[in-house]
Amino acid sequence: MLESKPILASIVFSLIGIAILVITFWIIEKITPENLWKEIIHNKNSALAIMAGAFMIAIAMIISAALHG
């Protein structure tokens, strides 16, 4: 018989991590002087896209370490 507690815990922690990641990106978007998404898409700023991707990876690593101990 398959235990559902670890599966449910993984789903809950994943959803919490994704929510925290989205909230932190939204906060960074609000405190920066330019609109990051507009700058990346319309102005084709690849350096900013790399920086945003690195930020997302770094925050995801911090969240995963905090959630999983």
Percent of the chain with pLDDT over 90: 9
User: Could you give the angle at which helices 46-68 and 5-31 cross, rounded to 10 degrees?
Assistant: 140
Of the candidates 5, 54, 17, 52, which has an alpha carbon nearest to the alpha carbon of residue 32? 52
Report pLDDT for 2. 61
- What pLDDT does 46 receive? 92
Read off the pLDDT of each residue in 38-43 and give the average, rounded to a whole number. Answer: 88
What is the pTM assigned to this prediction? Answer: 0.68
Over its C-alpha atoms, the chain yields an Rg (Å, rounded) of: 16
